[in-house]
């Protein structure tokens, strides 16, 4: 081990915003030429940390040193001039600029020609531009995009856009690269291509820190891994060490034995043991979704039968939320079909799906903070008040809907008594657990047939998660069908009749809840496989301009 000082050192960094402690006393170092992966479950604080390193945020406490100099709190452009370059999870390309111009833009800050000289047509400006073009060509060649230099950046497919972002960051000349989910939305070939490019960078004197959920990519590239969970650094070391670390496994998969055993009742026997007699309520058939240019889902199929709990688990970025959004028609399908009650959903609007009996509790609760608890609940009944979106009819049927709301609310209060106490409080003042209950209550107000929940346990203490999972079991016993997306795989699978495991947009395992709990595939889906190594090239060159 060299005794040289680290290139980048993070010392005691904490960050707090909006009452949330996003990072808590995080410290670690990065040596020059290293490839470090920053991983952790959803909400761990990885992006916050990356933003602090890149200068978009000033940490509430702690120091970041680059080559020994404290840089925390400096604005992003100055941090870049010091030698740190970053890419964004959302790409942030310059869509109407050509591919080559995107990369050239990486070098403009260092071009050194002022506006006056440029305007007057001094030869320094065209010379500088030519130099930028040549440098851009070299960087495009490095990532294999040199044939598409003249095309608009917006027309590139997702994988090539990611490569373009990397080329642009390289063009700034920064020696330390921060990559934010570089592999998001890429297919295996594109991912391998990206990994090949990135693997070459330390050879060019670059240091890399990347945030990733895709454990295959991490397995291929990372020399060292830092694991964050709930804002704290819980593990640091080689990929093998981290994969085997029980704390890491627990952080990703959840606590074992978190939920009390199922009570007796009509549905006490898991349905999946015997083939369910009824027709499925929801069928997702071979669905493809592209979301903001990224390929989020590929060929995903699942079924949900009446009165069962289906769990959908997988690492962050696997596409779970996207699947729910596709079902509730908030994002369009690129391929495949969704069937509700046997009929194709087709071009139905989101509002129509709600009226048909679907209710979606979104990730992060999404309440109306300035409205009261009661108002939040009442608005959940909207689709029944205006059954065809028709306002006039509502006016004519004066009293019935008010009583309906009151009746439904009583049922919700029976399920979540705390909400009755807090009915006149503004929703924004509720605690995390109470807010989650309100979000569920609001979704139940429309008397749905299928309730979809997106990560209800996010940000909640284990005790509260247990309570909520228990309520879901109760709801199922009353006949409700539930599709539950969770990153906390154990908690979800313990109450589920059946489950599906998603990994980077594909279903990689399915079975009864009990089967999946024992399946090692789940751990792999979250933490990667131990024998992962960068496949040897050359790869089918997906970057040749033979079409998108």
Partner 1 sequence: MVELLQYLIGGLVVGSIYGLVGVGYTGVYNVTRIVNFAQGDFAMLGAMSAIAVYELGLPLPVAIGAGIVAVSGVGAALERWAIRPARADEVRGIIITLGAGVFLEGLALTLWGTDAKPMPAFAGDRPLGFLGAAIPPQSLWVLGTALVLVVGLHLFFQATYLGKAFRACAVNPYAAKLSGIDVRTMAVISFVLSGALGAVAGIIVAPIVLVQYDTGIPLGIKGFVACIIGGLGKPTGAAVGGLLLGVLEAFATGLLSSGYKNAIAFVLLLVFLFVRPGGLFGELERVES
Partner 2 sequence: MAWSLAWRLLLGVGLAAIPLSGSAYLTNLLTVIALHALPAIGLSLLMGYTGQISIGHAAFYGLGAYGSALLALRGGVDPWLGIPLAATMVALVAWGLGWLIFRLRGHHLAVATLGLGIIVYVALVELRAWTGGPNGLSGIPPLRLFGRALDTDFRFYPLAWGACLAGAAMAGNLIRAPVGLAMRAVRESERAAASLGVDVAALKRRVFVVSAIYASVAGGLYAHYIGYVSPQPFGVVFSIRLIVMVAVGGFANVGGALFGAAFVTVAGEVLQGLGHYDVMGFGLTLVLVMVLLPGGLPQLLRRLSVRLREARS
Q: What distance in Å separates the CA atoms of residue 429 and residue 434, rounded to the nearest whole number?
A: 10
Choose among partner 2, partner 1, none what residue 107 binds, the Cβ cut-off being 5 to 8 Å by kind.
partner 2
Q: What track of x and - describes contact with partner 1 for positions 46 through 65 (by CB under 8 A)? A: --------------------
Nearest Cα to 539, choosing from 71, 76, 220? Answer: 220
Cβ at position 360, least distance to partner 1 in Å: 5
How many whole angstroms separate alpha carbon 14 and alpha carbon 368? 29
374 scored as a contact of partner 2 (CB under 8 A): no
Rg of the chain taking only CA atoms, in angstroms: 26
Give the residues across from 39 on adjacent strands: 227
Q: Which of 106, 280, 435, 441 binds partner 2 (CB under 8 A)?
A: 106
- Which of 107-115, 316-324, 459-467, 520-528 is the region at the interface with partner 2 (rule: CB under 8 A)? 107-115
Choosing from 20, 70, 109, 545, the residue that interacts with partner 2 (CB under 8 A) is 109
Give the Cα separation of 404 and 401 in Å (integer).
5
Cβ of residue 154: shortest distance to partner 1, in angstroms? 14
Residues 309-368 that bind partner 1 (CB under 8 A): 328, 330, 350-351, 354-355, 359-360, 362, 366-368
Specify the 3-state DSSP secondary structure of 488.
coil
Query: How many angstroms separate the CA atoms of 10 and 178, rounded?
Result: 14
- Does position 97 bind partner 1 by CB under 8 A? no
Decide which of partner 1, partner 2, none touches 85; Cβ closer than 5 to 8 Å per partner kind: partner 2
Binding piece for partner 2, criterion CB under 8 A, among 126-134, 234-242, 482-490, 534-542: 126-134
Ranges within 406-445 binding partner 1 (CB under 8 A): 442-443
Partner touching 75 among partner 2, partner 1, none, CB below 5 to 8 Å by kind: partner 2
User: Of partner 2, partner 1, none, which one does residue 113 interact with (CB within 5 to 8 Å by kind)?
Assistant: partner 2
Q: Residue 446, interface with partner 2 (CB under 8 A)?
A: no
Q: Measure Cα distances from 446 to 163, 376, 513 in Å.
A: 45, 12, 28
Rounded to a whole number of angstroms, the minimum distance from the CB of residue 211 to partner 2 is 15
> What residues from 151 to 180 belong to the interface with partner 2 (CB under 8 A)?
168-169, 171-172
Q: How many residues does the chain have?
A: 548
For residue 113, state whether it binds partner 2 (rule: CB under 8 A). Answer: yes
**SS percent in the chain: helix, strand, coil, step 5:** 40, 25, 35
Q: Of residues 29, 97, 352, 379, which one binds partner 2 by CB under 8 A? A: 97
Q: Which is nearer to partner 2, 104 or 312 (CB)?
A: 104
**C-beta of 105 vs 356, nearer to partner 2:** 105
Which partner from the list partner 1, partner 2, none does 281 bind, CB cut-off 5 to 8 Å by kind? none
What's the closest the beta carbon of residue 324 comes to partner 1, in angstroms?
10
- Determine the distance from the C-alpha atom of residue 183 to the mean position of all C-alpha atoms in its chain, rounded to a whole number: 12
Q: Is 447 in the site for partner 1 (CB under 8 A)?
A: no
**DSSP string for residues in 368-395:** -TTSBHHHHHHHHTHHHHSTTS-HHHHH
Burial class (CB in 10 A: 0-12, 13-18, 19+), 251: buried
Q: Round to whole Å and give the CA distance between 367 and 425.
A: 13
Does residue 257 interact with partner 2 by CB under 8 A?
Answer: no
Contact (CB, 8 A) for 494 and 517: yes
- Interaction residues for partner 1, span 364-393 (CB under 8 A): 366-371, 375, 378-380, 382-383, 385-386, 389, 391
Question: Which of these segments, 72-80, 256-264, 465-473, 492-500, binds partner 2 (CB under 8 A)?
Answer: 72-80
Give the nearer residue to partner 2 in terms of CB position, either 112 or 246. 112
Q: Is 67 in the site for partner 2 (CB under 8 A)?
A: no
In the list partner 1, partner 2, none, the entry touching 369 (Cβ below 5 to 8 angstroms by class) is partner 1
**How many CA atoms lie within 13 Å of 24's alpha carbon, on the beta-carbon side?**
11
Helix, strand, or coil here: 504? coil
Q: Is the CB of 50 or the CB of 145 nearer to partner 2?
A: 50
- What is residue 20's three-state secondary structure? strand
Q: Is 151 in the site for partner 1 (CB under 8 A)?
A: no
DSSP classification of residue 426: B
- Per partner kind, with CB cut-offs from 5 to 8 A, the member of partner 1, partner 2, none near residue 426 is none
Q: 27 — phi, psi (to 5°)? A: -140, 130
Tell me which H or E stretch contains 25: strand 20-30
* 136 touches 100 (CB < 8 A): yes
Which strand (E) or helix (H) includes residue 410?
helix 400-415
Residues 439, 367: contact at Cβ < 8 Å?
yes
Task: Give the whole-angstrom CA distance, residue 18 versus residue 521.
Answer: 37
388 vs 384, 392, 403, 447, 450, CA distance in Å?
Answer: 9, 10, 19, 16, 20
DSSP three-state, residue 540 = coil
Residue 5 interacts with, from partner 1, partner 2, none (CB under 5-8 Å by kind): none
Query: Which CB sits closer to partner 2, 92 or 204?
Result: 92
Query: Taking Cα atoms as reference points, which of 53, 43, 57, 39 lies closest to residue 86?
Result: 53
Residue 129 touching partner 2 (CB under 8 A): yes
Interface with partner 1 (CB under 8 A): 328, 330, 350-351, 354-355, 359-360, 362, 366-371, 375, 378-380, 382-383, 385-386, 389, 391, 442-443, 446
Interface with partner 2 (CB under 8 A): 54, 56, 75-77, 80-81, 85-86, 88, 92-97, 101, 104-111, 113-115, 117-121, 125-126, 128-129, 132, 168-169, 171-172
């Amino acid at each position: 081990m060299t005794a040289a000082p680290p290139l980048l050192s993070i010392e005691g960094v904490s960050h707090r915003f909006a009452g949330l402690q996003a990072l808590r006393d995080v410290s670690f170092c990065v040596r020059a030429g290293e490839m470090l992966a920053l991983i952790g479950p959803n909400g761990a604080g990885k992006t916050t940390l990356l933003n602090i390193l890149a200068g978009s945020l000033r940490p509430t406490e702690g120091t970041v040193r680059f080559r020994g100099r404290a840089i925390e709190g400096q604005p992003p452009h100055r941090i870049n001039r010091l030698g740190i370059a970053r890419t964004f999870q959302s790409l942030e390309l310059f869509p109407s600029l050509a591919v080559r111009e995107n990369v050239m833009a990486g070098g403009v800050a260092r071009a050194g020609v002022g506006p006056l000289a440029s305007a007057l047509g001094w030869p320094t400006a065209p010379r500088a531009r030519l130099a930028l073009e040549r440098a851009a060509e070299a960087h495009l060649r490095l990532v294999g995009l040199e044939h598409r230099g003249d095309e608009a950046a917006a027309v590139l497919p997702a994988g090539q856009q990611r490569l373009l972002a990397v080329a642009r960051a390289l063009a700034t000349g920064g020696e330390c690269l921060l990559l934010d989910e570089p592999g998001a939305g890429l297919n295996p070939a594109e991912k391998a291509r990206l990994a090949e490019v990135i693997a070459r960078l330390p050879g060019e004197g670059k240091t890399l820190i990347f945030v990733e959920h895709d454990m295959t990519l991490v397995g291929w590239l990372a020399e060292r891994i830092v694991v964050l969970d709930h804002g704290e650094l819980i593990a640091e070391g080689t990929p093998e060490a981290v994969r085997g670390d029980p704390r890491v496994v627990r952080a990703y998969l959840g606590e074992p034995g978190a939920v009390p055993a199922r009570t007796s009742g009509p549905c006490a026997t898991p349905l999946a043991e015997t083939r369910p007699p009824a027709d499925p309520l929801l069928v997702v058939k071979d669905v493809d979704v592209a979301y903001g240019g990224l390929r989020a889902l590929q060929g995903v199929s699942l079924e949900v039968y009446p009165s069962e709990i289906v769990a959908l688990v997988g690492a962050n970025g696997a596409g779970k939320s996207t699947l729910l959004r596709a079902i509730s028609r908030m994002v369009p399908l690129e391929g495949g079909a969704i069937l509700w009650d046997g009929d194709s959903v087709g071009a139905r609007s989101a509002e129509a799906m709600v009226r048909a009996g679907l209710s979606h509790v979104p990730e992060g609760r999404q309440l109306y903070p300035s409205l009261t608890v009661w108002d939040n609940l009442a608005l959940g009944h909207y689709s029944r008040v205006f059954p065809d979106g028709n306002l006039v009819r509502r006016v004519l049927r004066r009293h019935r809907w008010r009583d309906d709301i009151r009746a439904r609310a009583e049922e919700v209060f029976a399920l979540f008594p705390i909400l009755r106490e807090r009915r006149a409080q503004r929703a924004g003042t509720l605690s995390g657990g109470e807010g989650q209950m309100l979000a569920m209550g609001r979704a139940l107000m429309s008397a749905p047939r299928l309730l979809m929940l997106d990560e209800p346990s996010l940000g909640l203490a284990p005790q509260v998660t247990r309570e909520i999972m228990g309520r879901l079991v109760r709801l199922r016993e009353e006949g409700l069908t539930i599709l539950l997306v969770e990153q906390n795989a154990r908690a979800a699978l313990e109450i589920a009749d059946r489950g599906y495991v998603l990994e980077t947009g594909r279903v990689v395992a399915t079975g009864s809840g009990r089967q999946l709990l024992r399946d090692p595939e789940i751990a792999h889906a979250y933490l990667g496989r131990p024998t992962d190594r960068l496949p040897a090239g050359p790869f089918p060159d997906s970057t040749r301009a033979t079409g998108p």
